[in-house]
Structure 1
Amino acid sequence: MKVAAIQMVSGISLDANLSEALRLLRLAAGAGAELAVLPEYFCFMGQKDEDKLVIAETPGLGTVQDFLSDAARDLKLCIVGGTLPMATDDPGHAANASLTYNAKGTQISRYDKIHLFRYDNGREHYDEAAVLQAGDTPTTFDLRSRDGHEWRVGQSVCYDLRFAELYRVLAADVLLVPAAFTYTTGSAHWEVLLRARAIENQAYVIASAQGGLHENGRRTWGHSMVIDPWGEVLAMQSAGPGVVLAELDIQHLQGVREQLPSLQHRKL
């Protein structure tokens, strides 16, 4: 199954971001991808965190949800919509939600980011909990590839990557990590964490990132990549918008798990 990790440098214009996302999705579909994963905040990187609340959508109703559904149907492509802000019962907080649409344009999953990022090194300060409401439900969906294989796909978002226990619960064949890692934390930890999650879960990892200098002054690390169950990086793009393509091989996945059955050896 060919997959695509979409890398973007999203800005403050929703329309411009969606236009760019569609351009990249068309490239992925044209290259034969069956699954495309957009990055965290693909649709919007506001001037300040509170701007997310202005564009937060309700389930089944909204510009971004319509965009994802239409693009998936028109391109005949399963699309994971990175994340978008979704309204909650608290008007001061939104959910950071990752929505998946199948090739018919039907929503098949929603995952709300469980772990909310907080970081302060004296120069950079982030606290997602100020405007985001954490989710609490590990989420997977099943995807049948064109060759008839059934893949279990586990969802996560960005900061979730640091919490290995989530991925154990997912017990998936493919792990998704749409992200907007900061340049500081990404340069230190992004690749090593992704490869660790692939190795310890003997799963493919599709990591789609924001990668560049944004209009709001934030700089993200990028380095979108696809990693195999042995921890090998199959394809990667360091910075700037682009499409990272790779083939997922079910026989390779099964072979790794049979040769080194570490998942069967777990005691805890």
Structure 2
Amino acid sequence: MEKSTLKVSLIQTELLWESPKENLDRFSIKLEQLYGLTDLVILPEMFTTGFSMKPEELASDASILDYLKKHAVKGNIAIYGSVMFKENDSFVNRGIFMRPDGSCAIYDKRHTFTLAGEHEVYDSGKNPVIAEYLGWKFNLQICYDLRFPVFARNTQDYDVIIFVANWPVPRVNAWDALLKARAIENMSYSIGVNRVGKDGTGMDYSGHSQVYDVLGNELIIHPWETEEVKTVEIHKSEIETYRSKLKFLEDRDDFILKH
């Protein structure tokens, strides 16, 4: 089935520091409240723990897929967010896009955040991933990926690019500007879901989760800095109309992405 209009729900929330069970219990309540009311729910980066560098103790395993599948199937919703994940004998910051039919797309964060030493703890992903759902194409990205426009460049004719994040207060102006830029340059919707509150390292987060349309217009009144769930509608016709009128993507440069 394809849908020309999608309802997308952004869960902007505090994350309990390094507390997987408690976070999952809280997200279960939030997800259950969205059953049957939306098409896609987006959670923050590392939604089970906050942006922690202790995967040896806290990393998710295949049971996180069961958790997301249960809610996706029961609620007839797709869900995207990232978790620290154990992959064989190493760890990755793994984005999971779970569909309501129980299938999923997996994206491992390409640009690990060197400023916080993420590259020393988590392996880097290699390839961009496009998740297809209800006739839409979603480019899956995670936090620091937002700073790398070549990796996000719309060479796959995707409709939406999604960034899930733990993006702190001192650099939130960059978050706002880059999310908007990714929409404009790629003629796509750009969605960013950030957390709020303070993590265990003392870092503050102010949210500013947002949806930008293909012209860079905000779909949520900004700034939004509270713990809340907001739902917006996105329209395939808007993408088609503006790409037909403004053929900027046809003039994009050719390049080969090296891994």
Q: TM-score, normalised by structure 2?
A: 0.89
Partner of 1:116: 112
Count, aligned residues: 246
Q: Where does 1:135-146 land on structure 2 (aligned, <5 Å)?
A: 135-144=125-134
1:94 aligns with 2:91: yes
Amino acid at match of 1:54: E
Q: Out of 11, 17, 20, which is 2:23 matched to?
A: 17
Local SS of the residue matching 1:235: coil
Structure 1 unaligned regions, length at least 5:
120-125, 145-149
- Distance in 2, Cα, partners of 1:98 & 1:113: 7
Amino acid at match of 1:108: C
Partner of 2:57: 54
Local SS of the residue matching 1:232: coil
Partner of 1:213: 198
Partner of 1:245: 231
- Distance in 2, Cα, partners of 1:79 & 1:56: 19
- Distance in 2, Cα, partners of 1:207 & 1:266: 24
Q: How far off its partner does 1:142 sit?
A: 1.0
Amino acid at match of 1:13: S
Distance 1:36 1:210, change over 3 A: same
Local SS of the residue matching 1:53: helix
1:28 aligns with 2:34: yes
- Distance in 1, Cα, partners of 2:119 & 2:56: 13
Whether contact under 8 Å (1:8, 1:42) holds in the other structure is no
Q: How far off its partner does 1:216 sit?
A: 4.5
- Distance in 2, Cα, partners of 1:33 & 1:200: 28
Whether contact under 8 Å (2:191, 2:211) holds in the other structure is yes
Distance 1:229 1:29, change over 3 A: farther
Local SS of the residue matching 1:83: strand
Deviation string, structure 1 residues 95-126 (Cα, Å, up to 9, x no partner) = 0001111113x13200000001123xxxxxx1
1:83 aligns with 2:121: no
- Distance in 1, Cα, partners of 2:231 & 2:93: 26
- Distance in 1, Cα, partners of 2:177 & 2:202: 26
Q: How far off its partner does 1:252 sit?
A: 0.8
Whether contact under 8 Å (2:160, 2:190) holds in the other structure is yes
- Distance in 2, Cα, partners of 1:159 & 1:28: 28
Percent identical pairs in the alignment equals: 28
Partner of 1:147: none
Whether contact under 8 Å (1:7, 1:224) holds in the other structure is yes
Local SS of the residue matching 2:196: coil
Deviation string, structure 1 residues 164-209 (Cα, Å, up to 9, x no partner) = 11121453101110111111112x3011100000001011112111
Partner of 1:266: 252
Q: Out of 171, 184, 188, which is 1:199 matched to?
A: 184
Amino acid at match of 1:75: G
Q: How far off its partner does 1:88 sit?
A: 2.9
Q: Out of 122, 135, 158, which is 1:132 matched to?
A: 122
Q: TM-score, normalised by structure 1?
A: 0.86
Deviation string, structure 1 residues 224-245 (Cα, Å, up to 9, x no partner) = 1111111011015622322121
Partner of 2:214: 229
